[in-house]
């Protein structure tokens, strides 16, 4: 039986810690301090670090964690095409990461867009997806190094995972994302009930993540470029540059740009 816990950090980051009661792995530790505090409190031994992309709020804690572990060998997995500090295992699309303790097998999915080499980790047997800053609850990452077409293709791969897959993203951006989603799709009933649910969750001080692929497909405008209301909203946002039957990449790019200025 594995536990998954979001260690909160900075303003809105989550560092996901998975453990079997004895050994732990952490995804995207941007800061060592809160991770060490959590591991110490639970008497867990760190074994593995998984990295999705090179941004400081995802890799900044690697060095501190290795120091804390002293001479013990820690495996650090990261994207092959990005410069990840202390990386021991460089991963390409389609690679499998087999971890013994905690026992977990993860498939690597290339998801360029937010950064050029961003990867996601899919633990199929658990139904878990660790997607960093690519797919967020109700939104998606900004395009820092990739094109809108790349990001749409990346999100398309994640959307094609089984509906019940749990989506563990790296930030608590959900309510702001949903506010924007409502501007795109004011008539989406599933979205309206999600807003109510997630608002109540935040009022209780709890994380809104993980969500599920099914919920993201139903409510996340960045997975819904084929929906009539999203196409229409994009056409309106383009102030008449194109109509409601624009190609999907143009719809997606317009929605992404609109969100940047929202
Ligand atoms: Zn990032
Ligand atoms: Fe981030």
**Average pLDDT score over residue span 207-211:** 98
Active site residue 86: no
pLDDT digits (tens, 9 = 90+) for 93-148: 999 999 999 999 999 999 999 999 999 999 999 999 999 999 999 999 999 999 99
* Distance of alpha carbon 105 from the chain centroid: 18
Query: pLDDT band at 249, cuts 50/70/90?
Result: very high
Active site residue 57: yes
**Nearest ligand by distance to the CA of 142:** 1
Q: Is the pLDDT of residue 66 over 80?
A: yes
Active site residue 114: yes
Phi, psi of 21 (to 5 degrees): 95, -15
Query: pLDDT band at 240, cuts 50/70/90?
Result: confident
Q: How far apart, in whole angstroms, are the C-alpha atoms of residue 64 and residue 260? A: 33
Q: Which of 28, 54, 110, 114 is catalytic?
A: 114
Structural contact between residues 185 and 233, judged by C-beta atoms closer than 8 angstroms: yes
Helix (H, G, I), strand (E, B) or coil at 196: helix
Structural contact between residues 118 and 53, judged by C-beta atoms closer than 8 angstroms: yes
Element (H, E) at 139: strand 139-140
**Cross-strand partners of 119:** 110
Angle, helices 174-184 vs 228-237, to 10°: value is: 90
- DSSP letter for 126, please: T
Q: Which of 54, 58, 118, 122 is catalytic?
A: 58
Element (H, E) at 227: none
The residues whose Cβ lies within 5 A of ligand 2, an ion, are: 57, 133
Helix (H, G, I), strand (E, B) or coil at 31: coil
Give the model's pLDDT for residue 70: 87
Active site residue 118: no
Q: Which of 19, 110, 171, 198 is catalytic?
A: 171
Alpha helices, DSSP H only, in 60-135? Answer: 62-68
Handedness of CA 13, 162, 184, 116 (dihedral sign): positive
**Average pLDDT score over residue span 57-69:** 97
């Amino acid at each position: 039986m594995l536990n998954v816990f979001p260690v909160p950090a900075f303003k809105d980051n989550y560092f996901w810690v998975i453990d079997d009661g004895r050994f732990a792995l952490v995804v995207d530790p941007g800061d060592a301090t809160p991770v060490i505090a959590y591991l110490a409190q639970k008497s867990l031994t760190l074994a593995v670090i998984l990295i999705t992309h090179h941004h400081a709020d995802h890799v900044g804690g690697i060095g501190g964690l290795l120091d804390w572990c002293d001479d013990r060998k820690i495996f650090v997995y990261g994207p092959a095409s990005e410069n990840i500090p202390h990386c021991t295992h460089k991963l390409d699309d389609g690679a499998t990461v087999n971890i013994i303790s905690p026992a977990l097998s993860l498939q690597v999915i290339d998801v360029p867009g937010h950064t050029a080499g961003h990867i996601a980790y899919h633990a199929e047997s658990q139904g878990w997806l660790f997607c960093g800053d690519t797919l967020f609850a109700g939104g998606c990452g900004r395009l820092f190094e990739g094109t809108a077409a790349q990001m749409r293709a990346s999100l398309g791969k994640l959307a094609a995972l089984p509906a019940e897959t749990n989506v563990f993203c790296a930030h608590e951006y959900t309510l702001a994302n949903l506010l924007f989603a409502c501007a795109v799709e004011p008539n989406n009933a599933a979205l309206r009930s999600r807003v109510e649910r997630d608002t109540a969750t935040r009022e209780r001080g709890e994380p809104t993540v993980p969500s599920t692929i099914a919920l993201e497909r139903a409510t996340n405008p960045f997975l819904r470029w084929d929906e009539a209301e999203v196409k229409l909203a994009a056409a309106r946002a383009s102030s008449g540059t194109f109509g409601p039957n624009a190609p999907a990449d143009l719809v997606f790019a317009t929605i992404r740009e609109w969100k940047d200025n929202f």
